């Protein structure tokens, strides 16, 4: 397809095999600017920064394993990874959606400030750290499996959900230092971590009606995104983690 048109039916297919990330990203930017709205990236093998900083409402299907910082700083694209992703997915993204149909690595959604990241299976360490929200911007991360240590560390806003439903590995639903330094946003876990695993700034609550009405559409969306039926609608299994101080370090420099 040499002349992409507005009303694109067929996706623009790029064979990323052996392609350097700069070339790949330049192609995506160039074609997106020309009006291409759907992309298929085949044979992706670790190319970094895919869709970095893009704000176009494009959709990409990624086959293979994308590299570090997938969707970094992006504000619009919808990325579907058919497989696993590496580290720093959605780093500082402000809008758009990233679906990972497998595992994702460490530092997913770092400083995320809008949009959604859904990971079907497990995620690594430091997921959702420094997330923040404002007004109608509510960044949301949903993890179908379990999460490693430092989940939501220094979280300042947004919504983190861990379901522990898609993987049956012998691993607790969240690791150590969960919600350490958290001072905004909310975290929903389908399970109850030991208090020794939680940060000192948070407390554990049962879900109320507002939480449930907030979660139901997110969970349906998650199941639909990965085309799975998950037994995750018994909300008595969940807990909610909220910060109990909004300005825990307000007096840090007062002495």
Partner 1 sequence: MEKTWFIERPYPHEKDISSCGVIGMINTDGRRVSGRPLRDAMANMHDRGNGLGGGFAAYGIYPGWHDHYCLHVMYEDQGRVSSVEAFLYSKFRVDHVEEIRVAPSRKIRTHPYFRRYFITSPSADELEADGVMADAVMEINQADNGAFVISSGKDMGVFKGVGFPEDIYDFFRLEQYEACIWTAHNRFPTNTPGWWGGAHPFSLLDWSIVHNGEISSYGINKRYLEMFGYVCTLQTDTEVVAYLLDLLVRRHGLSFEQAAAVLAPPLWKDIDAMPAPKRQEYTKMRMIYGSAALNGPFAFLLAYSGGLIGLNDRVKLRPLVVARKDATWYMSSEESAIRVIAPDVDELFAPPAGKPFIITLERTAASAELAAG
* Interaction mask 117-136, partner 1, x per CB under 8 A: -----x-xxx----------
Tokens 């909310």 correspond to 186
64 binds partner 1 per the rule CB under 8 A: yes
Site residues for partner 1, window 2-61 (CB under 8 A)?
Answer: 21, 44-46, 48
First to last CA, the chain: 66
Residues ≥6 apart with Cβ < 8 Å to 195? 204
Instruction: State how far the Cα of 88 lies from the Cα of 124, in Å rounded to an integer.
Output: 10
Q: Which is nearer to partner 1, 7 or 168 (CB)?
A: 168
Rg over CA atoms, the chain: 19
Stretch that binds partner 1, among 24-32, 63-71, 135-143, 226-234 (CB under 8 A): 63-71
86 binds partner 1 per the rule CB under 8 A: yes
Q: What are phi and psi of 62, to 5 degrees?
A: -110, 120
Q: Which is nearer to partner 1, 67 or 115 (CB)?
A: 67
199 binds partner 1 per the rule CB under 8 A: no
Site residues for partner 1, window 137-166 (CB under 8 A)?
Answer: 148-150
If residue 220 lies in a helix (H) or strand (E), which one and from where to where? helix 209-226
Instruction: Work out the burial of residue 115: count CB atoms within 10 Å of its CB; fewer than 13 is exposed, 13-18 middle, 19 or more buried.
Output: buried
193 binds partner 1 per the rule CB under 8 A: no
Binding stretches for partner 1 (CB under 8 A): 21, 44-46, 48, 64-68, 84, 86-87, 103, 105-106, 122, 124-126, 148-150, 169, 171, 196
């Amino acid at each position: 397809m040499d002349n992409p048109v507005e009303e694109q039916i067929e996706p623009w297919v790029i064979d990323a095999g052996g392609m350097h990330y700069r070339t790949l990203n330049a192609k995506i930017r160039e074609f997106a600017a020309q009006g291409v709205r759907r992309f298929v990236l085949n044979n992706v093998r670790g190319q970094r920064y895919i869709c970095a900083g893009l704000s176009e409402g494009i959709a990409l299907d990624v086959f293979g394993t994308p590299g570090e910082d997938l969707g970094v700083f992006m504000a619009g694209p919808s990325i579907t990874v058919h497989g696993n992703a590496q580290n720093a997915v959605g780093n500082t993204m402000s809008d758009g959606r990233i679906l990972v149909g497998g595992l994702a690595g460490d530092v997913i959604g770092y400083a995320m400030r809008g949009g959604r990241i859904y990971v079907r299976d497990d995620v690594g360490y430091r997921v959702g750290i420094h997330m923040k929200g404002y007004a109608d911007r509510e960044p949301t991360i949903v993890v179908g499996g379990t999460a490693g240590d430092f989940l939501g560390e220094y979280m300042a806003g947004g919504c983190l959900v861990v379901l522990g439903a898609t993987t049956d590995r012998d691993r607790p639903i969240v690791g150590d230092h969960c919600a350490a330094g958290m001072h905004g946003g909310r975290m929903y876990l389908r399970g109850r971590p030991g208090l020794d695993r939680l940060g000192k700034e948070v407390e554990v609550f049962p879900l109320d009606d507002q939480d449930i009405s907030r979660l139901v559409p997110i969970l349906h969306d998650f199941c639909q995104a990965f085309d799975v039926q998950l037994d995750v609608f018994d909300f008595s299994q969940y807990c909610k983690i909220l910060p109990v101080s909004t300005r825990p370090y307000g007096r840090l420099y007062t002495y």
